[in-house]
Amino acid sequence: MKIFIYNIGYFLLEAKRTIRLNPLSNLFSVIGTGLILFLLGMVLAGWSVGDKLIVALKDEAEVSAYFMENTNEKDALKLVNAIKGMEGVMDASYIDETEAKAQMEKMLGNEADILGLFDENPFEAFIEVKINLDYMDQVLSDVAKLDGIDYVRDNRKVLEQMKGISDGLKLFGVLIMAAVGITTLIIISHMIRQGIYNNRDQINTLRLLGAPDGFIGFPFLLAGTFLTLLGGGLAAGLLILLLNEGYSHLSGFIPFIPLPSLEELSDKVSLLILLVSAALGLLGSLFGVSSIGKEE
């Protein structure tokens, strides 16, 4: 530890020398690592958006029961009470035409002006039934059988599709993470081995003078971690640009999608990429530095 503290300045200078010894090769390694980590960042961002979407849709797990014609409000409230008593139903409430329109206006947000095109309120009254997803089939069947209920509309298909996409994205993400991890480790450890090869005379001299492998290898470890972090920084920068650009387009086209906030997503994914790059840089450098011992 004493040796480490006494030599912090030396280690940093040696790491700088190692990087400058082969600047072009190191630059390409940084760009390569950065692009690979950028790919990982995109998957992580997709993952995050998908998760948010699923959670939002699950929160909205509900069915809408529409009345037969000539059902008055009194009968409708009786139906609401009957539905409330069913297993798997968390809540049920009567939504009249005005409230139905208000809900849609809220959902459309800035685009709600479109509803002004209608002369009359196009929405009809219904019962909003919040359910436990596990009981969806049973609740649908029971509600549909009730007298006075014309038809029941559910968002099961959407939920199932979204869940499928989310699961696929997760699997894809895991595969990408594995590929990114292995590729980064190979690039970094190769870069370090190259640095060690370029400094082989110095390393041999240090060995003959009795320097321990840890002392010899530490500057390479610093250099490798720094270069990978640089790649991580590049990836985070590109990702922030991409997210800014993507959000400015997405929010206009698909206002219904409940995206996580841009700042939250950018910060989360950038931080994750930097942490992953630091960890991979350290690990890759350790693999590379392990070759010092083998040369004796």
Partner 1 sequence: MIEAKGVSLTYHDGTVALKDVNIEVKPGELVYITGHSGSGKTSLLKLLIGMEYPTSGSLKILGQPIKRGKARKIRKLRKKIGPVFQEFKLIEGRTALENVMMGMRFLGISPRKMKTEAISALTKVGLEHKIRSKVENLSWGESQRVAIARAVARKPELILADEPTGNLDHDNAINILQILNSFRDNNTAVVITTHATHLIENQEDATYIRVNKGEITIEHSSEKIV
What residues make contact with partner 1 under the rule CB under 8 A? 2-3, 6-7, 9-10, 17, 201-202, 204-212, 215, 296
Whole-Å CA distances, 198 to 17, 195, 204, 206, 251: 11, 5, 12, 14, 52
**Least distance (Å) from partner 1 to the CB of residue 7?**
5
**Least distance (Å) from partner 1 to the CB of residue 24?**
18
CA nearest neighbour of 238 among 49, 46, 44, 39:
39
CA dist., res. 93 & res. 152, Å (int): 14
- CA angle 194-196-197, nearest 5°? 65
Residue type, 49: V
CA dist., res. 159 & res. 167, Å (int): 12
**Least distance (Å) from partner 1 to the CB of residue 11?**
10
Q: Which is nearer to partner 1, 85 or 210 (CB)?
A: 210
Q: Which is nearer to partner 1, 208 or 254 (CB)?
A: 208
**Least distance (Å) from partner 1 to the CB of residue 50?**
52
**Least distance (Å) from partner 1 to the CB of residue 30?**
23
* Helical (H) or strand (E) element with 116: none
Please identify which residue in the block is written with the tokens 């790649």: 231
Q: Which is nearer to partner 1, 283 or 292 (CB)?
A: 292
User: Cα-Cα-Cα-Cα dihedral of 66, 70, 75, 77, to 10°?
Assistant: 40
Please identify which residue in the block is written with the tokens 């906030």: 261
Q: Which is nearer to partner 1, 5 or 24 (CB)?
A: 5
Residue 89 pairs in a beta bridge with 131
Distance of CA 210 to the CA centre of its chain: 49
Please identify which residue in the block is written with the tokens 């009968």: 75
Q: Which is nearer to partner 1, 6 or 253 (CB)?
A: 6
**Least distance (Å) from partner 1 to the CB of residue 209?**
5
Which residues, including other chains, have CB under 8 Å from residue 168's CB and lie 6 or more apart?
A: none
**Least distance (Å) from partner 1 to the CB of residue 18?**
12
Q: Which is nearer to partner 1, 222 or 236 (CB)?
A: 222
Q: Which is nearer to partner 1, 3 or 241 (CB)?
A: 3
